[in-house]
Amino acid sequence: MAYRLHSERFNSNFWYIAIPKTGSQSIRKLIDENIDDEHILYGAGSLWHMSVMDIIRHPNYNIKKDNFFATVRNPWAQAWSNFNYQKKMVEDKLLAYRAGEDGIQEYRKKYPMNIIYNLNDTKKWNNVIKAQKEYLNTFDDYVFKMREKIRYPLINTADDLDAFIRDGESVEEIDSRRRDLPEVSINGLVQTEILAFDRSKTNHLITIPIEKPKTIMHFFNEWFPECNIKEVPFINQGTHANKNYTNFYSKKTRDIIYEVEYTLIQRHNYKFGD
């Protein structure tokens, strides 16, 4: 479930946009351990990974009071990490599916936070199988699918892509751009896509690099001074510093990530290999 945090100091709310493989579980732990329940407004749906667009369409969103913040990660590292995570989760789901009802129930016990479809939902399972074949077979397939998700030529230059997240576009334009895409959707395929928003329907969007714990602490202590956070409780911290991902990129895939995540790369001065 998406977290909506209330700041008494500024009488405003902040939704946390949990992008996969950007330390979202660490932020969840930080929130649960430091912010009183009375300041956590559990606001939207049952999914942890929700986009800005998902939330502004939700009836609990309040344009007068609600803002957004997200932790982001070096896009090259995030893409490699998310590919491996999504690949394993899809493989585990398909193993459960092929084991029948007992396999489905065992999966739900093991991964209570993850969605797995009912055994008889053939259409959705076919989409999972399709996703595995189309862009979870190899890392190159995954990266090429990223390039497809950001629809061109409507966004065909670095400046256009920057404007996409900085200034926003109408919901109608964003929706129509994706009508020809397959129904399958892997969470967090593109960080920029999850953060895309319509300026007329949102207020502020703050992005904080997960690699900068002091900035994270400053944000929480500024907006929620009652918690006085002194450290970020990192989970799986080693993955954030792992530079081995560079070995799995070609020049072409490296350039694609630069293209589709241009805004975050420029905004936070990310470098390949950081």
**146 close to 256: Cβ distance less than 8 angstroms:** yes
Nearest to 16 by CA among 67, 59, 83, 92: 67
What mean pLDDT comes out for the span 98-104? 96
Does 235 have pLDDT greater than 60?
yes
Question: How far is it, in rounded angstroms, from Cα 147 to Cα 257?
Answer: 8
- 178 pLDDT band, cuts 50/70/90, is very low
Place of tokens 């939902």: 121
Does 43 have pLDDT greater than 50?
yes
- 62 pLDDT band, cuts 50/70/90, is confident
Per-residue pLDDT tens over the stretch 124-158: 899 889 888 888 889 999 998 887 766 543 444 55
pLDDT of residue 45: 56
Question: How far is it, in rounded angstroms, from Cα 11 to Cα 79?
Answer: 36
Distance of CA 114 to CAs 15, 88, 117, 149, Å? 21, 13, 10, 23
pLDDT of residue 167: 61
Structure tokens that stand for 91 in this block: 């493989």
Residue 248: CB partners within 8 Å, gap ≥ 6? 80, 139
- 41 pLDDT band, cuts 50/70/90, is low
pTM: 0.84
Residue 196's Cβ-side half-sphere holds a number of Cα atoms within 13 Å equal to 25
pLDDT of residue 53: 81
Does 176 have pLDDT greater than 70?
no
Does 239 have pLDDT greater than 70?
no
Distance of CA 45 to CAs 21, 117, 258, Å? 20, 17, 32
What mean pLDDT comes out for the span 225-240? 76
Structure tokens that stand for 237 in this block: 């911290």
**259 close to 145: Cβ distance less than 8 angstroms:** no
